[in-house]
Amino acid sequence: MHTMLIRYGWLVLLGAIGGKLGAQPIDIRVHDPVLIRQDSFYYLFHTGRGISQWRSKDLRQWERLEPVFAEAPAWTEQVVPGFRQRNHIWAPDVLFYRGRYYLFYSVSAFAKNTSAIGVATSLTLNPADPAYRWEDHGPVVRSVPGRDMWNAIDPNVVFDEKGQPWLVFGSFWLGIKLVRLDTSLTRLAEPQEWYTVAARPRTMTLDERDPGDGAIEAPFLFRKGDFFYLFVSWDYCCRGVRSNYKIVVGRARDIRGPYLDREGRDMRQGGGTLVLEGNERWPGVGHCAVYTFEGRDFLVFHGYDRLDEGRPKLWILPLLWDSEGWPLASLDD
Cα–Cα distances (Å) from 9 to 159, 164, 227, in that order, read 33, 38, 34
The distance between the two most distant Cα atoms of the chain, rounded to a whole number of Å, is: 55
- Of 217, 235, 277, 305, the active-site residue reads 217
**158 neighbors 168 (Cβ within 8 angstroms):** yes
User: Before 283, cis peptide (omega within 30)?
Assistant: no
**212 neighbors 228 (Cβ within 8 angstroms):** no
To the query of whether residue 32 is one of the catalytic residues in this protein, the response is yes
> How far, in Å, CA of 191 to CA of 31, rounded?
35
To the query of whether residue 294 is one of the catalytic residues in this protein, the response is no
**Phi–psi pair at 46, nearest 5 degrees:** -160, 170
Q: Which residues contact 39 (CB under 8 A, 6 or more apart)?
A: 126
> How far, in Å, CA of 329 to CA of 300, rounded?
11
> How far, in Å, CA of 64 to CA of 304, rounded?
21
> How far, in Å, CA of 35 to CA of 222, rounded?
14
> How far, in Å, CA of 58 to CA of 158, rounded?
26
What is the gyration radius of the CA atoms in the chain, in angstroms?
Answer: 19
- Of 32, 93, 136, 154, the active-site residue reads 32
Nearest to 4 by CA among 56, 47, 40, 39: 56
User: Before 92, cis peptide (omega within 30)?
Assistant: no
Nearest to 270 by CA among 174, 146, 177: 174
Positions marked catalytic = 32, 217
